Amino acid sequence: MKKEYTKDDLTIIWDHKLCTHSAVCVKGLPNVFKPKEKPWIQTENDTKEKIKEQVLKCPSGALSLK
Ligand code: SF4
C-alpha cells in the first residue's frame, strides 16, 4: 500500500510494505513524522528542504519523492 503526502509541489510517497519501522524519520524530524497521529506525515510542520532531506535518509526506501 502506497500513500502520498504533499507540500506545495513536493510529493512524498510512503510504501507501507517497505517500511521497517526503524524510526529514522521519527527521530530526525519528529514534528513531521508522527506515527501515532493521522495523517502520520504532517508536511505543514516544516520546510520542503528539511522534509526532502529526511525522506532521502530513509534506510529502507519506504519514503521516496515523486
Ligand atoms: S525512516 Fe523509513 S523505514 Fe524508518 S520508520 Fe521512517 S519510513 Fe519507515
Quote the longest CA-to-CA distance of the chain.
28
Q: Is 13 in the pocket of ligand 1 (CB under 6 A)?
A: no
Q: Is 38 in the pocket of ligand 1 (CB under 6 A)?
A: no
From the alpha carbon of 24, which atom of ligand 1 is closest?
1
Task: Encode pLDDT of 6-65 as tens digits.
Answer: 999 999 999 999 999 999 999 999 999 999 999 999 999 999 999 999 999 999 999 999
| pLDDT on residue 41 | 98
What's the topology of domain 2-65? Answer: Alpha-Beta Plaits (3.30.70)
Burial of 26 (0-12, 13-18, 19+ CB in 10 A): middle
Q: Which secondary structure element, helix H or strand E, spans residue 7, and what is its range?
A: strand 2-7
Spans of all domains in the chain: 2-65
Hey, is 26 helix, strand or coil?
helix
Q: Is 31 in the pocket of ligand 1 (CB under 6 A)?
A: no
From the alpha carbon of 20, which atom of ligand 1 is closest?
3
